[in-house]
Chains A and B, each alone.
Chain A
Amino acid sequence: MSDVIRAEGLRKRFGDTQALDGVDLTVRRGTVLGVLGPNGAGKTTAVRVLATLLKPDAGRAEVCGYDVVRDSVRVRAKIGLTGQYASVDEELTGTENLVMIARLLDFSRREARARAKELLARFSLTDAGGRAVKTYSGGMRRRLDLAASLINRPEVIYLDEPTTGLDPRARGEVWDTVREVVADGASVLLTTQYLEEADALADRIAVFDHGHVIAEGTSAELKARAGRQTLAVRAADLYRVEQLTTIVADLTGARPEVQAATGLVTAPIGDPAVLSAVVRRLDEAGLVAAELALRMPSLDEVFLTLTGHHAEPAATETVTEGSLV
């Protein structure tokens, strides 16, 4: 069986909100599915259904071949859950948290202590193991959360917005851990609001909007769906920008944009073959390119194309909140 998660037509309603409106998802064994979408798109609800915390109103889902509603205890033996909602106990130490969960997973006392020690070491928390979790930094807490969800070596790991609210360094640490877990053979379902995160970690991406999966594919496929690529060229000699702009305009048939500060010339292209033509013309003109690339559209552009709105309205929300204070 190559799919560890298979969900069909999941629906869930809370009052007036249709949180899931017919969601289909599959996750292949050993891969990372990134579930990308803005707040309220239904990502967390989908994770809670697949983690047996919520019963769907309609539709069905199997995790490792077990039905999430009828065989929920077996599903729970196969999964690990980390995220904004499933948390560790702040009042206990890191070691106590891990030992407690290991004991709940039927490890003997000795096995539980050994597993806790092993995981603390792996997540660079050995020194903090004896301290209460409430004294941990945000990054340390997330790492402990992640360690807690790995105790029984789950086949499927749900990471619900694992880096929301973390600084870039802590985020990088969590990313490294996710890559390690996948290298060990686990399959991951990761929800995120960050396009960059889905791009960095996910093999395939499902884009959620208003309880629907509006697009699904690899990062490259999604970018291809958003349409045209961009040619970007920068001359080694800044004073030859004008000559370069003329060449680019000539070959692409578009009016190039020029960044005054860096001398970067960009233009949308329809046919990737233009790239080799550009190389020939630059060569003939004796122009040395310091930078020459075909750029895929960013995931934000993809999101805009697919949904008609930007993926991250969070930036403007923060401003409004800030101005209230």
Chain B
Amino acid sequence: MSTMTADTASAVRTGAEPPRRVSPRRTLSHGLTLAWRNIAQLKHSPEKLLDVTLMPIVFLLLFLYVFGGAVAGDTHSYLQKLLPGLVAQMAMFATMGLGTALAEDIQKGVFDRFRSLPIARSAPLIGTVLGDTVRFLMVVTVLVGFGTALGFRFHTDPLSVLGAFALAYVFYLAVSWVSVLVGLLAPGPETVQGLAFLWVMPLTFGSSVLVPDTSTMPGWLQAWTKVNPVTHLADAVRALTTGGPVGNHVWYTLAWAAGIVLVTFPIAIRMYNRRA
């Protein structure tokens, strides 16, 4: 019973035996402390948010005015299709910084300090993923804010809109674990970015993000976009924010998110433990 309630600090104070395992509740609390660390870092160097602030603006402007006329006839109606798609794409892009940050922590020895503490080995990884929520919020805020200024309007009820962003966030959290894996696999922080592009690019461009109607694509690409979870996320967000049939896109997206976490999370923890 004592192992259920005893924590490290009280064990030190009372001289009692420290707990043998770290309970899930304490792991979550340690994860939140480490998420706070990421946010404190941003407070000292807000320039770290520059990429997630500027990227949505640049991509929105570029895609809107390059493709708008060709894909949808006019930019205004394309904006209504493009913006929800960009929420999906930018969420994926936002996870890329995570791998770099992780590789830096490992290189600088910060993670060895964490590994020498009586906390769960998963806590630093969970903390990094949760702390990066700030980047997701930034991407969505800038996209919606800037998009609204350009003429984007929600056409559904607030609950559906909230559901759309919640779905994007769930998928973002799942994909973060892929970034964690890349960060752990990369030989150093410099190589993470390049590796990340390798998987983010085909996933986000080979989807319905930029071109909602995929029927003009060659068959093999159509097959790819159909299974690509980013397509399902983009279509789900599109339907939930601008109207239209939601179909099974929400369930496909959630199933993909669950599948990604089930595969990458245990591998990431194992790799993190083995990393000497």
- With A77-B118, A104-B119 in contact, is A91–B41 under 8 Å at CB? yes
Encode B109-135 as 1/0 by CB contact (under 8 A) with A.
Answer: 110111111110001000000000000
Query: Could you tell me the distance between the alpha carbons of A92 and B40 in the complex, rounded to whole angstroms?
Result: 7
Binds A, one of B5-13, B89-97, B155-163, B207-215: B5-13
Q: Would you call A210 an interface residue if the criterion is a C-beta within 8 Å of the partner chain's C-beta atoms?
A: no
Partner of A85, one of B26, B45, B109: B109
Chain B positions within 8 Å of A88 at CB level: 110, 113
Q: Are A104 and B33 in contact (CB under 8 A)?
A: yes
Q: Would you call B189 an interface residue if the criterion is a C-beta within 8 Å of the partner chain's C-beta atoms?
A: no
Encode B1-40 as 1/0 by CB contact (under 8 A) with A.
Answer: 0000001111110000111111000100010011011001
- With A48-B276, A53-B112 in contact, is A107–B9 under 8 Å at CB? yes
Q: Are A148 and B113 in contact (CB under 8 A)?
A: yes
Partner of A53, one of B7, B36, B276: B276
The range of chain A's interface size is 35 or more
Encode A89-122 as 1/0 by CB contact (under 8 A) with B.
Answer: 1111100100011011111100100000000000
Encode B22-64 as 1/0 by CB contact (under 8 A) with A.
Answer: 1000100010011011001100110000000000000000000
Query: Could you tell me the distance between the alpha carbons of A81 and B109 in the complex, rounded to whole angstroms?
Result: 11
Encode A79-91 as 1/0 by CB contact (under 8 A) with B.
Answer: 1110011111111
Chain A positions within 8 Å of B37 at CB level: 89, 92, 96, 100
Q: Are A73 and B109 in contact (CB under 8 A)?
A: no
Most chain A CB atoms below 10 A, which of B9, B33, B276: B9
- With A73-B22, A100-B33, A104-B30 in contact, is A81–B116 under 8 Å at CB? yes
Q: Would you call A51 an interface residue if the criterion is a C-beta within 8 Å of the partner chain's C-beta atoms?
A: yes
- With A88-B110, A106-B26 in contact, is A73–B116 under 8 Å at CB? no
Query: Could you tell me the distance between the alpha carbons of A77 and B33 in the complex, rounded to whole angstroms?
Result: 18
The range of chain B's interface size is 35 or more
Q: Would you call A180 an interface residue if the criterion is a C-beta within 8 Å of the partner chain's C-beta atoms?
A: no
Chain B positions within 8 Å of A101 at CB level: 113, 117
Q: Are B36 and A87 in contact (CB under 8 A)?
A: no
Partner of B20, one of A71, A87, A106, A111: A71
> What distance in Å separates the Cβ of A260 from its nearest Cβ neighbour in chain B?
50
Q: B26: nearest residue on chain A (CB-CB)?
A: A106
Chain A positions within 8 Å of B113 at CB level: 81, 86-88, 101, 148
Chain A positions within 8 Å of B109 at CB level: 84-87
- With A84-B109, A90-B108, A100-B37 in contact, is A106–B8 under 8 Å at CB? yes
Q: Would you call A152 an interface residue if the criterion is a C-beta within 8 Å of the partner chain's C-beta atoms?
A: yes
Chain B positions within 8 Å of A79 at CB level: 116
> What distance in Å separates the Cβ of A20 from its nearest Cβ neighbour in chain B?
13
Q: Are B118 and A74 in contact (CB under 8 A)?
A: yes
Chain B positions within 8 Å of A29 at CB level: none
Query: Could you tell me the distance between the alpha carbons of A79 and B8 in the complex, rounded to whole angstroms?
Result: 12
Encode B167-204 as 1/0 by CB contact (under 8 A) with A.
Answer: 00000000000000000000000000000000000000
Q: Are A87 and B276 in contact (CB under 8 A)?
A: no
Q: Are A111 and B18 in contact (CB under 8 A)?
A: no
Partner of A87, one of B9, B11, B110: B110
Q: Would you call A292 an interface residue if the criterion is a C-beta within 8 Å of the partner chain's C-beta atoms?
A: no
Chain B positions within 8 Å of A104 at CB level: 30, 33-34, 114, 117, 119, 123
Q: A134: nearest residue on chain B (CB-CB)?
A: B44
Q: Would you call A236 an interface residue if the criterion is a C-beta within 8 Å of the partner chain's C-beta atoms?
A: no
CB under 8 Å from chain B, chain A span 235-273: none
> What distance in Å separates the Cβ of B25 from its nearest Cβ neighbour in chain A?
11
> What distance in Å separates the Cβ of B117 from its nearest Cβ neighbour in chain A?
5
Q: B116: nearest residue on chain A (CB-CB)?
A: A81
Chain B positions within 8 Å of A87 at CB level: 108-110, 112-113
Chain A positions within 8 Å of B17 at CB level: 74
Q: Are B276 and A54 in contact (CB under 8 A)?
A: yes
Query: Could you tell me the distance between the alpha carbons of A42 and B141 in the complex, rounded to whole angstroms?
Result: 52
Chain B positions within 8 Å of A14 at CB level: 276
> What distance in Å separates the Cβ of A73 from its nearest Cβ neighbour in chain B?
5
Q: Are B9 and A111 in contact (CB under 8 A)?
A: yes
> What distance in Å separates the Cβ of A39 from its nearest Cβ neighbour in chain B?
17
Query: Could you tell me the distance between the alpha carbons of A14 and B118 in the complex, rounded to whole angstroms?
Result: 26
Most chain A CB atoms below 10 A, which of B7, B44, B115, B116: B116
> What distance in Å separates the Cβ of A163 from its nearest Cβ neighbour in chain B?
17
Q: Are B9 and A73 in contact (CB under 8 A)?
A: no
Partner of A96, one of B11, B40, B112, B119: B40
Identify 15 residue pairs between A and B in the complex whose beta-carbon atoms are under 8 Å apart, listed by A's number.
A48-B276, A54-B276, A73-B19, A74-B118, A77-B19, A78-B18, A81-B113, A86-B113, A87-B112, A88-B110, A89-B110, A104-B119, A105-B9, A111-B9, A152-B8
B residues near A (Cβ < 8 Å) are 7-12, 17-22, 26, 30, 33-34, 36-37, 40-41, 44-45, 108-110, 112-119, 123, 276
Closest 7 CB pairs of A and B: A77-B18, A87-B109, A106-B7, A77-B118, A76-B118, A81-B116, A106-B9
A residues near B (Cβ < 8 Å) are 14, 48, 51-54, 71, 73-74, 76-81, 84-93, 96, 100-101, 103-108, 111, 132, 148, 152-153
20 further contact pairs, Cβ within 8 A, besides A53-B112, A111-B9: A14-B276, A51-B116, A77-B12, A77-B19, A79-B116, A81-B112, A85-B109, A86-B109, A86-B116, A92-B37, A93-B44, A100-B34, A100-B36, A101-B117, A104-B33, A104-B34, A104-B123, A105-B9, A106-B9, A106-B26
